[in-house]
Every structure is written in structure tokens, then in C-alpha cells.
Structure 1
Amino acid sequence: MEVATLAPTETFALSQQLMAMSKIHPTAIVSNNAVIGENVVIGPYAVIGDVTIGEGSIIHPHVVMADGVHLGRNVEVFPGAFIGKEPKGAGAIARQPQFERKIVIEDECSIGPHVVIFYDVTIGSNTLLGDGASVREKCSIGSRCIISRYVTINYDTSIGDRTKIMDNTHITGNARIAEDVFISTMVGTANDNLIRAGFGDHITGPVVEAGAFVGAGATLLPGVRIGSKATVASGAVVTKPVEASTTVAGVPARPMKRAAEE
């Protein structure tokens, strides 16, 4: 990445036309290879790599955007966010991360303060990532989603359109969450029942089908399937599949009643 520190009297490789169309703070560090649309604002001490930033986007102070990031139009990235973290495995980790150096964040998204987005992630339009949320590599998040404060989404997970995941919930690796799902606060999910140091590619997270509801503090164990429009009550521990339009509660979770048909 070739970078230029923009002083008040220097524009380096950024053209005067670009500077007229956008507002880049003098302390920001912006790659000469960045493609920046009209009416973009880049705040103090932001570090911007070889990226594409769509028109009307706002990059707040101290944001870091690594090479290969593509932002759509009117995206707002709040202070301290890190977009483009490279996953690295330490010696204690058996799984070796695999990823592409790209991130796509579509139009009208909001990326909250101190959000961390790893490489190889796509985020659909009009989606909100709340303060301190973390999204690991090889994940996809649909359009009009809410990923609330301090939610953690592990690797190779997909989340459908209009799904809402509330504060402090953990979505494990290899999970599949469909569209129009609601997952409340403090929900835990797992993808491996074995207590051991290493694991293989066979591990599987939960599958949550369209329109399902998961209450606060529930736990979904590896590989369980929550059927369409099913409800998991608060505090339930789900160890077996839940049929569509069924409500389950308890430890372990058991059926209570069948939801009214629409």
C-alpha cells in the first residue's frame, strides 16, 4: 500500500478535483491507490488502504481500512472500527484460517465504534453493526440486518436478510441463520461437543430457519436445527431439532405448544 499523509498544503497523488469533491482531514493517511467517491468525509487519524469508498460515505476518526475493502454509497463507519483484519492462527489453534483479502459492505450500512470485520466478509445494504461487534472470515450477512452491540460472529457463518441478533450473543462457526430470524440477548451457540484441543472440518453449528425466534439466554448446541417460525424460550438448552412452528422451553428444551398458523 502506497500512502500519503495529507498536510494542509499537500495533496500528493490525490488530485485537486478529488479534494474538492471530498473532505479528507489533514491527519488522515490515505493510499494513493484508494478510489474515493464524491462527498466522502474521512476524519482525523483514519488509515485508509487500497480501498473503494462510495459517494456520500463518512469515515470517522481512527478508523482503519485495509487493502481490498469496498464500501458502497452512504456507508458510515464510526470511530475506531477495524475493517480488514487478517485472521492468523497461533500455535494453540488447530484450525488454519483460509480467506480472500476482500470485504464488501453494500450501500447505506452503519458500522459502529470499534467493530472488527475480518477479511472475506460480505454485508448487505442497510445493515447495522453495533458497537464492538466482531465478524470473522468467510461470513455473509444479508440486507437490513441488525447485528447489535458486542455480538460475535465466528467463521464461515451466513445470516439471511432482515435478521436481528441482539447484544452480547455469540454465533459460532459454521452456523446457518436464515432470513427474518430474531435472536435475543446473551444467546450462546456451539459447534463442537468434544472437550479437546483440536478439531476437524466436520464441526457444524446450529441451523436456524426463516422466521424463528430465540429468547434471551438460550443455548443452541452443535448441529441442532430450529424449524421455520419456531420459538425457543428464554434460558432453554436446545439439544435436539425443533420442529417448525413449535415452542420449546426448559433444560433440555421440550415442546410446549404449536404456534397458531398464519
Structure 2
Amino acid sequence: MKQKRPERRQGQAVVRGRLAPSTTHDQRLLDRQGPADWVHMDPWRVLRIQAEFVEGFGQLAELPRAVTVFGSARTREDSPDYGMGRELGRALARAGYAVITGGGPGIMEAANRGASDVDGAVSVGLGIELPFEQKMNDYVDLGIEFRYFFVRKTMFVKYSCGFIALPGGFGTLDELFEALTLVQTQKVTSFPVVLMGSEFWGGMLDWIKNALLGTGKIAEQDLDLITVTDDVDEAVRIIADADLARSKQLQEEREAAAAQLAEPQ
């Protein structure tokens, strides 16, 4: 049997065989070891990073209201979690939201697939260069490949009005806790974070209450940043209610600003 050639996605490019590097762009950027040529290379990396931001902003600027769904890439199609992800994608699309995922298989595919079941819905995948190949799933309408995790994370937050996390691994936990940190520190406002799957997330919530809140590492109100549910309709309702509240707040701020300008000086 012919051995499969190594393959690597690099932004919009796919390289195979001898052209496939053994490390990723993130890995090389964060590596502090090696020769001093990084002094000359890093300024050029900044331009590449800038280009990724420009590409992401340009592609996503006209996106309708959107919700990001996270979850394991290893989830099988015949699993209950996959079914829940697909149902969630449909429900979000019917509520008028675009669905954003990491663009890969598993839960990401399920949510994109559910959105694609709804006529007129928008299904988005934001992929990333990984040391193992993970192609964009077939249910993505708009797919963007990133070299750098931090650029991709910016796009998830900037163009979403909420996060919904289904059962997942390190990547899901990374995105989850980054979102919670941004909300806790008020870097983003009116940004709900919903965890779907009470049995899966229950142990982590107990640990947060006992080990973090119980020892004063977080405040009581920080627990309100997370909602756990097994109900797809409730998850969508939480997102929609927060979205409506944010819209009303913005409208009130505009009216107050207009009234202030109209007052005689």
C-alpha cells in the first residue's frame, strides 16, 4: 500500500510531501530557543499576522448575528452529543443566527450541518493549522483558515454574540475559559456562555464552586457567567434574551447621546 504523504494546511494553502513543515507557525512564533535570526524574522511575521487579521475582518464584516459553538472534534456521528450539536445548529439558524464553529469534524461538523439544514442560514468555519491534518467539514458555507490561534480566537469573539460549549477536550476548555475571562473582566459585554450537557459539565461546575469560589479565587457573581442546560431551546433563548437586552441598551445609549446633543448649550 502506498504510504500517505504528510499534509499541512497553511492559511489558504495546502502543502504535501517534502514541502510540509514539521512545525506550525504558532510553534515557530512562540519558540524562544534557537539562533538569533528571530530578530530579523519576527518583524515579517507581524506582517503575516496583520494580513490574517485583515483577511478575517474582511470576510466576516458582513456576517449576520452569529453564535459560536464549540465541542470535541472526536465526537462520532452516531453519538448523542453529535445529535445535540446538529439540533442546536438548526435551532440557532431558525432563530436567525449564523453558526460559527472551528470548521472541523465532530461537534463542529454537527453544528454546521444543523445550520445547513435550514434554508437561508449561514454556516461558518474558522479553521486552524494543526500538526495533524483536519480538513474543513462539508457543511461550511464560509471557511477561513488561520495560521495563528490568537487571530482565530479574536474572530470567534468579535463576530459572535454568545458562546455555546458542548462536551469537548482541551481546545473546548481553552475557548470556554478565555470567554469567561473576557466577560469577567468586562472586555466583552452582554456575552452569554452556555454549557450544554449537565452530566458532562457537572463535575467541572462542582470544582469551580468548591475549589475556586470556596477558596475566594472567584466572586459569587462570577458563577452567574455560566449557564448549564440540556435543553436546546433554552440555550437559544438565553442567547436571544442577552442579544435583545444588549440591543435595547445600545438604543438607550444612542437616544441619551442624541438628547444631550439637542440640549441648548
TM-score (norm 1): 0.26
Higher percent of residues as helix: 2
Higher relative contact order (CA 8 A, sep 6+): 2
